[in-house]
Amino acid sequence: MIIDGKKLSEKICAQVRAEAEMMRRRPCLAAVLVGEDPASQIYVRNKERDCAKCGIDSRRYDLPDTVPEAELLAIIDELNNDDAVDGILVQLPLPEHISERKVINAVSPEKDVDAFHPINVGRMVTGEGTLMPCTPAGIMAMLREYGISPDGKHCVIVGRSNIVGRPMGLMLLNADATVTYCHRHTKDLAAMTRQADILIVAAGSPRLITGDMVKDGVVVIDVAMNRDPETGKFFGDVCFDEVEKKASFITPVPGGVGPMTRAQLMKNILAAAKERALKNG
Ligand code: NAD
């Protein structure tokens, strides 16, 4: 069965919109884009569109790639203190002269809708998070929707980045799965992936997972977004044609994890707005 992330994301957006419309003030995202990286520009434009679709206001700050780090930090500080702003998103990557860690740490945890701040990472680890990292939280929502419980399952994750693989494993652990992490230093990747009841692949390495690397009945979530330089089309890390024949569930690329990541960001903005509204009365 092919998991339809696009359809589910539309359902989530409609739910976010319904809740956003009931609020006294529309939730608001401030998106900060440094430089003119074409991919980042597309991501930010898509997020603005998603906001409009979900009844969320958005403001955009375009800064030149020469902007001094101190100036970017001052803008973040201003947004942290702006009562009309519920969520702050600084599009990564940043130019080399700016420390990503410093910027991530400067965003107020209550407005950190990417959930990259160490406080939100810590809350996610202990299972008390409200703002959850978008890609893994979107995948958890997808599993729930399709009735796939991680409880007692062996979940194998390929990739251990701070934004996808690592938090994914922790969320699955919190959902009572047995988790194995694989990465570039893993000795025999196929021996690991063949054990997976649920296989989550986020390596950014085209055709990494072939049909002989999975067992029958596996659930496969392909997070990767590899772009064919000639056609401009996106494809995953999984050889879809081969693996689909053995999988019980599989996500397509595009139309799987991507839309769910975007929908989860909208959920986070709404959650941040609701929490702030509660706190500020
Ligand atoms: P990253 O480069 O930060 O991390 C990749 C990880 O995969 C590393 O831990 C590395 O050790 C591991 N890896 C790479 N090649 C491997 C190999 N051959 N064998 C075993 N492990 C290997 O990447 P990231 O930011 O986590 O993103 C991963 C992929 O997911 C990319 O294709 C990215 O575009 C995509 N992505 C998609 C979404 C979405 O919403 N669909 C969101 C974020 C990232």
Q: Is the Cβ atom of 134 under 6 angstroms away from ligand 1?
A: no
Which two tokens mark 74?
Answer: 């001052």
Q: Which helix (H) or strand (E) holds 234?
A: strand 234-235
Annotated catalytic, 114?
Answer: yes
62 is catalytic: no
Closest to 197 in 3D by CA, of 176, 173, 217: 217
Q: For this structure, is 176 an active site residue?
A: no
Buried b (16+ CB within 10 A) or exposed e, 180-215: bbbeeeeeebeebbeebbbbbbbbeeeebbeeebbe
Q: Supply 158's token pair.
A: 């390929």
C-alpha of residue 124 to centroid of ligand 1, in Å: 20
**Residue 116 C-alpha to ligand 1 middle, in angstroms?**
16
The reported pTM is 0.97
Q: What is the pLDDT of residue 101?
A: 97
Residue pointed to by tokens 């690397």: 213
Report strand pairing: 234-235 vs 226-227: antiparallel
Residue 246 in tokens: 């053995």
Contact 253 CB / ligand 1 (< 6 Å): no
User: Which pLDDT score is estimated for 280?
Assistant: 86
The residue contributing the CA closest to ligand 1 atom 4 is 161
For the record, the structure tokens of 257 come out as 């994890």
Instruction: Please list the ranges in the chain whose pLDDT falls under 50.
Output: none
